[in-house]
Chains A and B, each alone.
Chain A
Amino acid sequence: MIEVRDLVYEYPSKRALEGVSLAVPDETITALVGPNGAGKTTLLRCLAALEAPYSGTVTIDGLDTSQAPRQIHAQLGYLPDFFGLYDELTVRRCLAYAARSHGIAPALTAAAVEKAARQVGIADRLETRAGELSRGLRQRLAIAQAIVHAPRVLLLDEPAAGLDPQARRDLSALLLSLRDSGMTLVVSSHILAELEDYCSEMIIIENGRVVGGKPIKVRDDERPHYLIELATARSDLKSFLAGAGVDLVEADDRRALIVFTHNAGARAKLVRDLVHAGFDLASFGLSSKALEETYFAQVSGAKAAP
């Protein structure tokens, strides 16, 4: 769906992206993470065909952003980090304008507006002026504008910034439902906790490069992340796990983050083997911070590498 090859982007005084290559599969939610100034927003804008690369290519659904920017614009939804709304217009008119300007026929506009408003939970506010909405509702309206034309790709830059916990939970549910409806989403954020709930892949950007060179799978229902914790430290934990057929993400003498099969029997056997080997097992369970752990494992690994 989204393919980036050797992307270089330069501002007049700085090179923001240094040969980025990646592929985002269909119908996934991919997190774009990294520190402030790493190049996340620039990469998103290149994906959205809002910035032309200095060299390299970006293709969306087979269309090159340099060759066919307007066709790509028409099939994309994009929520910038700092977005604006037409405060004087009602929610209905904001959405109607977004729909019509994305090529929705006049006869189909009303239905598209109703559907988008329902999807984001603002169907009861259609006659309210945008300027009268709360921060969370404005965010929902902005997302509704981005999805009113049912794009195949949705790019969101810091979508949960400024939202309260309930609004964040609603946002997670919305993004998952959009993915389930066939959309491919890329979500940029530097707040890892908010991505944990819905992202299946992660791309780490640091200093204009992709850390590790490719997207990392962070959510796999067949092979989830598990966290093992020992009551007593053992220096051979890492080597034991490596020999037990697990994928080690990160480990020290007391704890390990692993990727392992969801199969209950295999998990029970691993726990038995650990206990039989004399490890003082304190806990073994699904990691609730898989994305965060993976991020820091990758970033520290990249820093340790020469």
Chain B
Amino acid sequence: MNPEFRRNLWLEMTPRRIALMTGVLTLAFFAAALSGGDTTAPARVAVFLYYFIVVLWGARNAGLSVVGEIRDRTWDSQRLSALGAAEMSWGKLFGSTIFNWYGGAICLAVILVAHFAHQGPVAALIDLVYFVSIGVIAQSVALLASLIAIRRRQSHTRFEIFLYQLAGILAAIVVLYIWSAADPAASFLTAKKTTETVVWWGRAFDVRPFLLVSLAAFAGWTLLACYREMRLELKMRNRPFVWLGFLAFMGLYVAGFDAWLAQSANPPSSDSVALRLALAATTFAVLSYIMVLLEPKDRVLYRWIGGRVASGRFLQAASALQGWMMSYFAAALAIAALIWRLATHTPPDIAGIAQVGAALGFLTRDCAIFVLFHTLPGRRRSDFGAVVVLVALYALIPAILDGLGLKQALGFFYPVATDPVWLGAAVAWGQGVLVAALALGRLAIGEGPEVKEAVQA
């Protein structure tokens, strides 16, 4: 048995705790059966208890599984073990939450028996996949959030632990929200009509199987992300292929919803290819923002990459690229393809090309702002500072300009139509190049000649 899982069993599954969980749940179901008025009352209570035990409480335990080791000063010993990253990841994820899964399994048994009796085996099977997936996603997102925070060297205050738990709960809420769109019984959550089909890449799919497969895929990606973060914690190197694979998956997955965008947004001068490219580019841009916010902006790593580029070792440099860098390059590629597509329209969509070009310029600027803030002195809250600047650039200053009637100047802050048409893109790229140059200049400061030699050797 995985030693880490066994250690967690020793700590979590004591006879007293098992008896307590079993007793409390049994009493809760009896109380529901006696006071609920119908035979589904215990199942309804079981659903509530499942969310509480597996999602809310389980996310906290998963978020604590590594952070707790750091807090208790046992993490270095674990990192120095012979356990592989996969063993360590699943030993932590399922070991730290084994008590939650024990309680969740009792709840799930009550839910499945009720659904099997009322709706048949298929409904029970769908529920099984759904409930297990939402639990796994909530817990693995909480673990992932904690592992990312550890790399950012912030990890174990109570508030931070709550944030990791919150990340897991939010992921579960997103799943619940989307799932409810396909569940007539839960449609009150969305205040929308439920739908029977979803159109993806031009084909109609039954919504429940589509969502279940999507759920399983995202749960798989989240587990893989935990494994990759664990590798970094264990000082193993991650090659860029998995993140590139994730980008390809996300680009293809989101681009498939062009029919939905065409109905809801009704964009001018767009064909389905342009729409799909725009969706993929937007996905990559969003991932760039998420990753540049989350990943540590490590000056030492950036200098290392710079040293490799300067000495012509591009493959080595590429192997160390961070997620936000790869996402940025993917966004740039998708935008280049979109520009090419818009240029082939008759007549060419010049305004669209300028706006898309401006969007890439703003993305360049924004990523560079995050890096620049990490190169400034006293950079303890540099991500917060970068976010404040972006809020000012995207919300406060444009609101003031709008209030002053200077609508034409909004093109300096958003990728919107300007007169002349190229002005917005030129200003966006001007800002992007300026901030990027400042960031690169700051990174170069402080690197002595002996280190340059050592890095290039």
Contacts and interface: CB of A to CB of B under 8 A. Distances in A.
Given A8-B454, A73-B234, 17 more contacts: A6-B454, A50-B76, A54-B300, A55-B455, A56-B454, A70-B82, A70-B84, A70-B234, A78-B80, A80-B73, A83-B74, A84-B74, A89-B11, A93-B10, A98-B81, A101-B81, A102-B82
Given A48-B80, A73-B79, A101-B3, A88 B454 contact: no
A97 B300 contact: no
A54 B450 CA distance: 12
Contacts of B454: 6, 8, 19, 54-56
Contacts of B303: 54
B79 to A, nearest CB: 6
A191 interface: no
B38 interface: no
B73 A82 contact: yes
B306 to A, nearest CB: 12
Contact of B236 (A54, A69, A80): A69
Contacts of A10: 299-300
B7 interface: yes
Interface in B189-240: 234-236
A152 to B, nearest CB: 14
Contacts of B84: 70
B300 A50 contact: no
A302 interface: no
B157 interface: no
Contacts of A262: none
A30 interface: no
A77 B82 CA distance: 11
Interface string B1-21: 001101100110000000000
Interface in A1-29: 6, 8, 10, 12, 19
A8 B455 CA distance: 10
B132 interface: no
Contact of A69 (B10, B234, B298, B455): B234
A12 B234 contact: no
Contact of B300 (A12, A70, A103): A12
Interface residues of A, number: 39
Contacts of A195: none
Contacts of B10: 89, 93
Q: Which 4 A-B pairs have the closest CB atoms?
A: A84-B73, A55-B454, A100-B3, A101-B81
Nearest to B11: A88
A190 B73 CA distance: 21
A100 B6 contact: yes
Contact of B82 (A12, A55, A74): A74
Interface string B303-324: 1100000000000000000000
Given A70-B84, A73-B82, A83 B77 contact: yes
A85 interface: yes
B419 interface: no
A76 B374 CA distance: 35
Contacts of A85: 74
A97 B82 CA distance: 12
Nearest to B76: A80
Contact of A52 (B11, B81, B235, B450): B235
A85 B79 CA distance: 14
25 contacts: A10-B300, A12-B299, A19-B454, A50-B79, A52-B235, A54-B300, A54-B303, A54-B451, A54-B455, A55-B454, A55-B457, A69-B235, A70-B236, A73-B80, A73-B81, A74-B82, A80-B73, A83-B77, A84-B69, A85-B74, A93-B7, A93-B10, A98-B81, A100-B6, A146-B77
A80 B299 CA distance: 27
B270 interface: no
A60 interface: no
Nearest to A93: B10
A150 to B, nearest CB: 13
Contacts of B374: 12
A49 interface: yes
A228 B350 CA distance: 91
A188 interface: no
Interface in A68-126: 69-70, 73-74, 76-78, 80, 82-86, 88-89, 93, 97-98, 100-103
A139 interface: no
Contact of B77 (A51, A52, A78, A88): A78
A68 to B, nearest CB: 10
Nearest to B299: A12
B83 interface: yes
A76 B80 contact: yes
A73 B78 CA distance: 10
A145 interface: yes
Contacts of B300: 10, 12, 54
Interface in B357-414: 374, 379
Nearest to B79: A50
Nearest to B14: A88
A279 to B, nearest CB: 47
Contacts of A97: 3, 6-7
Interface string B275-309: 00000000000000000000000111001100000
A55 B74 contact: no
Contacts of A88: 11
Interface string A147-189: 0010000000000000000000000000000000000000000
